[in-house]
Structure 1
Amino acid sequence: MSNLVNVPKNGSLANTNSNTNFPTLSTWLDDFFNRDFPSVFNSNFNTGITLPKVNIKETAEAYIVEMAVPGLKKSDFRIDLDNEVLAISTEIKDESEGKDENYTRREFGYSSFKRTFNLPESVNDEKINASYQEGILSILLPKKEEAKQKPARSIKIS
């Protein structure tokens, strides 16, 4: 939080905040929430999946969506199409159980993401195709025949 500063005619700076020794509630909250917490506090809340990066490229025939999601299986993904909105999501539950002398320890984690994309009207939604190979989810969005780019041609002048 910034302090207001008056500049008197003699050129010296004077702090006009009379509560410099007593932080206000808002400055205390700002300081608290802007701090970096030690890894002890956040290590149990992040299971390693963040929002995956996506590349989208357009060719004359189709749009190609590539999503980098290493370490997952093809069966982990769900791809839905609803009213020209493509949704890609995954939900992973990780449970492990360790037994030692007098106690049982159970640890589990949960992670998920969902990315949605508005498809252009030029996409032929009947022929959408997806594949997953070497950590890359690829979705082919073919264009409708009338939307495909036609090759350049010369027009004869009559």
Structure 2
Amino acid sequence: MSTLMHVPKNGHGAQKKSSFPTWTNWIDDLFDTEHVPTVFSSNYNSGMSMPKVNIKETKDDYFVEMAVPGMKKSDFVIDLDNDILSVSAEHKEESETKEENYTRKEFGYSSFKRTFSLPESINESKINATYNDGILMIQLPKREEAKQKPIRSIKIS
């Protein structure tokens, strides 16, 4: 499960690795599913790698951008269950070629599911999603009380 804030896995992003591998580093690297798919990955052999996600925050909204080229709007399912946003897609493809001496039939299937824990400051009734040029964009508006107020000068009486 992803959150709207990135925290390095096992502190690896915050620490410098020693030039001599330790047993723990070797084990961590062996099972590092972020870079090498293994049988322990949740999306092993699913036919589609997990799409990359950009998350940005403005004063009024959060935006989740997901790179998923080759899909159609109808391939996506976006659900909100309490404070968990789930984005999944499923794509099926079939083609058949018949000629005089042969028949060739190919098919493919791909799917993924990503989930995000949303902060309580999201106005759930105004969440909006668009899909254009291979990018799924989800706008997560903040509640009025969560928006940053402009600086105000206070006069001394």
Q: Report TM bin, short chain.
A: 0.5 to 0.7
CA-to-partner distance for each residue in 1:98-130, whole Å, 9 max, x for gaps? 224465432211100111100000000000001
Partners of 1:71 and 1:94 in 2: CA distance? 11
TM-score for both structures, normalised by structure 2: 0.66
**What is residue 65 of structure 2 aligned with on the other side?**
66
Superposed displacement of residue 51, structure 1 = 0.8
The count of aligned residue pairs is: 114
Partners of 1:46 and 1:150 in 2: CA distance? 45
CA contact (8 A) 2:127 2:138 kept: yes
**Quick one: which amino acid aligns to residue 53 of structure 2?**
V
Once superposed, which parts of structure 1, at least 4 consecutive aligned residues long, lie more than 3 Å away?
Answer: 100-105
**Quick one: which amino acid aligns to residue 57 of structure 2?**
E
Partners of 1:46 and 1:90 in 2: CA distance? 12
**Quick one: which amino acid aligns to residue 124 of structure 2?**
D
Partners of 1:46 and 1:123 in 2: CA distance? 32
The structure whose Rg is larger is 1
**Quick one: which amino acid aligns to residue 142 of structure 1?**
P
1:17-28 equivalences in 2 (<5 Å): none
Matched, 1:118 2:145: no
Larger RCO (CA within 8 A; separation ≥ 6): 2
Partners of 1:117 and 1:123 in 2: CA distance? 12
Partners of 1:122 and 1:130 in 2: CA distance? 18
**What is residue 33 of structure 1 aligned with on the other side?**
none
CA contact (8 A) 2:128 2:139 kept: yes
**What is residue 89 of structure 2 aligned with on the other side?**
90
Superposed displacement of residue 56, structure 1 = 0.6
1:100-115 equivalences in 2 (<5 Å): 100-101=99-100, 104-115=103-114
Identity across aligned pairs (percent)?
Answer: 70
CA-to-partner distance for each residue in 1:124-145, whole Å, 9 max, x for gaps? 0000001111111111100111
Partners of 1:115 and 1:108 in 2: CA distance? 24
User: Aligned Cα RMSD in Å?
Assistant: 2.0
**Quick one: which amino acid aligns to residue 156 of structure 2?**
I
- Alignment partner of 2:120: what SS? coil
Q: Which runs of 5+ in 2 are unaligned?
A: 1-29, 31-44
